[in-house]
Amino acid sequence: MKVENIHLAGVGTYVPELVPTERAVKAGWYDADECEASGIESIAVEDSVSAPDMAIRAAKTALERSGHAPDDFAALYHSNTYHQGPDGWSSPHYVLLNTLDRPVPALELRQGCLGMLASLEAAACRLTACPDKDAVLLTTGDNFSTPMVDRWTASKLFLFADAGSSLVVSRRSGFARVLSVGSLSDSRMEALHRGGEKLLPPSITEGIPLDFDSRIQYWRKQWANGVKPPVGHFGDQVAAVAERTLKEAGLTINQIKRFCHVGFNLDPLQAMFLEPLGIEPEQGIWETSRRIGHTGVSDFVIGLERLWLSGEVVPGDHVLLIGAATGMEAGCAVLEITEAPGAELTAG
């Protein structure tokens, strides 16, 4: 979707203490060979701050940087990949109360790790269609410090990390202009992340932990018994959505200065994202993600903030945000950096 007059006015993140993967190996949490193959040096782990509270901390930073007042906002969109608190409770309204504290809609977007990109697209549509307000607040937070997730073994593609992030989407101005945003799905692959688990009752209510690897193992056994798994080439979706979104922005991939991607381990990151796009790890945010891990929805927001604050992208540069969600779905957004951070942000 091509976007007109939509900007990112503020960005904020909350990244907790980093736990070295070497420590996890010594403690027996993580296999040594898998650790070496992953390329991941450490992951962010938060033992005491909840997912919504991490989102609130990130949002307060984004709001301060944005120059927007609470009355400017039309809505708050909160995205996440994992449980936020008590069942039947509204984490978006908790975030709203502790940030804008205005009677605007507070919505939860459950689009997996693409939640922030889906929220960005929804915010652009809302600001385009409803001219009465000038901004939408996007927040996200995930905390996997729970007995129902073994962050070190639940997936061979990544290590679960904790973080919160926030963007202020504005029709006025900002540090980046949104040129286009969109996604592309292949629902035939949804069973890959369902495995052999039944839908009712939900697995979490029966004490079954989140374990993507066991679901992949299920399909390997099915394949050995002659049942073909629902496998497609996800890299084709990544390449296709990037090509479409770049075309909508009037750019080619050679005009992109940096790529902000998901925080996968090195081999799956290259196979699913970097190689389909024809780019090298140094063009992305590997040096950041290898120290933080896969934070669910916050990966590319953390990457974007660090690229901007460090001066690795400057006004006139183009940045592509690229991600994935179970389903399977790939999505991206194309940005143009329009302002450098102030001296107060880059000091120290």
Tens-digit pLDDT string for the chain (348 aa): 999 999 999 999 999 999 999 999 999 999 999 999 999 999 999 999 999 999 999 999 999 999 999 999 999 999 999 999 999 999 999 999 999 999 999 999 999 999 999 999 999 999 999 889 999 999 999 999 999 999 999 999 999 999 999 999 999 999 999 999 999 998 888 888 888 899 999 999 999 999 988 888 888 888 888 888 777 778 899 999 999 999 999 999 999 999 999 999 999 999 999 999 999 999 999 999 999 999 999 999 999 999 999 999 999 999 999 999 988 899 999 999 999 998 678 754
The most distant pair of C-alpha atoms in the chain lies apart, rounded to whole Å, by: 62
Looking at the fold, whether 197 and 157 belong to one and the same domain comes out as no
Helix (H, G, I), strand (E, B) or coil at 345: helix
Per-residue confidence (pLDDT) for residue 10, from 0 to 100: 98
Assigned token pair, 306:
């660090």
What is the edge-to-edge ordering of all strands in the sheet holding 7-14? 106-109, 73-79, 135-142, 163-170, 7-14, 176-185, 329-337, 318-325, 258-260
Q: List Cβ neighbours of 87 (8 Å cut-off, separation of 6 or more).
A: none
Is there a domain that residue 179 lies in? no
318-325 vs 258-260, strand pairing mode:
parallel
95 by Cβ neighbours in 10 Å (0-12 / 13-18 / 19+) ranks as buried
Looking at the fold, whether 52 and 126 belong to one and the same domain comes out as yes
Q: Select from 251, 253, 276 the least CA-distant residue to 184.
A: 276
Distance of CA 314 to the CA centre of its chain: 22
Which CATH number characterizes residue 63's domain? 3.40.47.10
Is there a domain that residue 116 lies in? yes
Per-residue confidence (pLDDT) for residue 347, from 0 to 100: 53
Please give the residue range of the domain that contains residue 196. Answer: 188-224
Per-residue confidence (pLDDT) for residue 106, from 0 to 100: 98
Looking at the fold, whether 11 and 139 belong to one and the same domain comes out as yes
Looking at the fold, whether 200 and 168 belong to one and the same domain comes out as no
d(CA 82, CA 70): 28
Per-residue confidence (pLDDT) for residue 218, from 0 to 100: 85
Work out how many domains the chain is built from and give that number: 2
Per-residue confidence (pLDDT) for residue 227, from 0 to 100: 83
Looking at the fold, whether 32 and 72 belong to one and the same domain comes out as yes
* Angle, CA 158 vertex, CA 156 and CA 160 arms, to 5°: 120
Looking at the fold, whether 37 and 156 belong to one and the same domain comes out as yes
Looking at the fold, whether 71 and 204 belong to one and the same domain comes out as no
Per-residue confidence (pLDDT) for residue 201, from 0 to 100: 95
d(CA 195, CA 209): 13
